[in-house]
């Protein structure tokens, strides 16, 4: 398929993002205004306690929007899974609501889908990656150590499994996300392990990334992510 003929879904998980998701949605609309793609926006409001749902709903008159509204917070992994399985596109990108990586980075991924790759992941650790503002030291150290543990436990060759910018073909996402059991931060790792185990073709692209100081990732969340890794290892060992 020629890249201009793709139908693209953009999946955005959102939890209490009323204050900043508008800019992200505006950037998505502006991006596709200059493209010939068919596209849709899939926002999963994951039990937000603010006005996220109402803010997103205002965009329904401006773009093809699917809003999935959860009454309870299920976790980022569960929200991405829900959005990916609801997406209708030939390929589906999930990106973070904080817009740390702009949707324009999708331009780098599209040639791989013309070459029939199944998964393209954004990486902040490749030589060509551009970091406009670095994370605080402890988050940066924690992220790199997390990557080291991932490589030891799962044998994944990627320096960055956690960037919120990943693109999946229809056949890959329908296979992978039906199997995913992780609801928290380690879901990225599970998705890549299952992609590898199914023999899907995976590519990495360097991305431009800008740390958001009001990130939802807190120290306790980082510790929980490590615990999720070990739980995932046990789950996969049991063949679930």
- Architecture per CATH, 3-237: Alpha-Beta Complex (3.90)
Report the distance separating Cα 120 and Cα 109, nearest Å. Answer: 6
Q: Are 64 and 33 in contact (CB under 8 A)?
A: no
| Half-sphere CA count of 80, side-chain side, radius 13 A | 29
> Which residue pairs, CB below 8 angstroms and at least 24 apart, start in 103-112?
103/10, 103/27, 103/28, 103/31, 104/31, 105/165, 105/205, 105/207, 105/208, 106/8, 106/31, 106/167, 108/205, 108/206, 108/207, 109/167, 109/203, 109/205, 110/3, 110/6, 111/3, 112/203, 112/205
Whether the CA torsion 96, 99, 105, 106 is positive or negative: it is positive
Digit-coded pLDDT (tens) for 39-70: 999 999 999 999 999 999 999 999 999 999 99
Digit-coded pLDDT (tens) for 101-126: 999 999 999 999 999 999 999 999 99
Q: Is the per-residue pLDDT at 4 higher than 70? A: no
Digit-coded pLDDT (tens) for 135-191: 665 666 777 788 889 999 999 999 999 999 999 999 999 999 999 999 988 999 999
**Matching residue, tokens 């030891």:** 152
Give residue limits of the domains in the chain: 3-237
Digit-coded pLDDT (tens) for 16-34: 999 999 999 999 999 999 9
């Amino acid at each position: 398929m020629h890249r201009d003929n793709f139908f693209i879904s953009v999946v955005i998980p959102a939890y209490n993002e009323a204050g900043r998701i508008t800019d992200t949605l505006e950037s998505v609309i502006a991006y596709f205004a200059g493209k010939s793609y068919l596209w849709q926006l899939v926002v999963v409001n994951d039990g937000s306690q603010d006005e996220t749902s109402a803010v997103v709903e205002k965009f329904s008159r401006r773009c093809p929007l699917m809003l999935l509204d959860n009454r309870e917070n299920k976790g980022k992994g569960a929200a991405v899974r829900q959005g990916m399985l609801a997406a209708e596109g030939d390929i589906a990108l999930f990106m973070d609501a904080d817009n740390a990586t702009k949707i324009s980075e999708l331009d780098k991924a599209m040639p791989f889908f013309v070459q029939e790759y199944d998964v393209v992941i954004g990486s902040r650790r490749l030589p060509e990656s551009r970091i406009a503002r670095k994370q605080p030291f402890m988050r940066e150290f924690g992220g790199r150590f997390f990557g080291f543990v991932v490589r030891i436990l799962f044998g994944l060759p990627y320096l960055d499994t956690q960037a919120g910018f990943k693109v999946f073909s229809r056949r890959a996402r329908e296979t992978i996300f039906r199997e995913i059991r992780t609801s928290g931060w380690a879901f990225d790792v599970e998705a890549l392990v299952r992609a590898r185990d199914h023999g899907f073709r995976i590519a990495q692209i360097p991305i431009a990334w800008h740390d958001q100081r009001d990130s939802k990732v807190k120290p306790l969340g980082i510790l929980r992510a490590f615990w999720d890794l070990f739980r995932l290892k046990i789950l996969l060992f049991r063949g679930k």
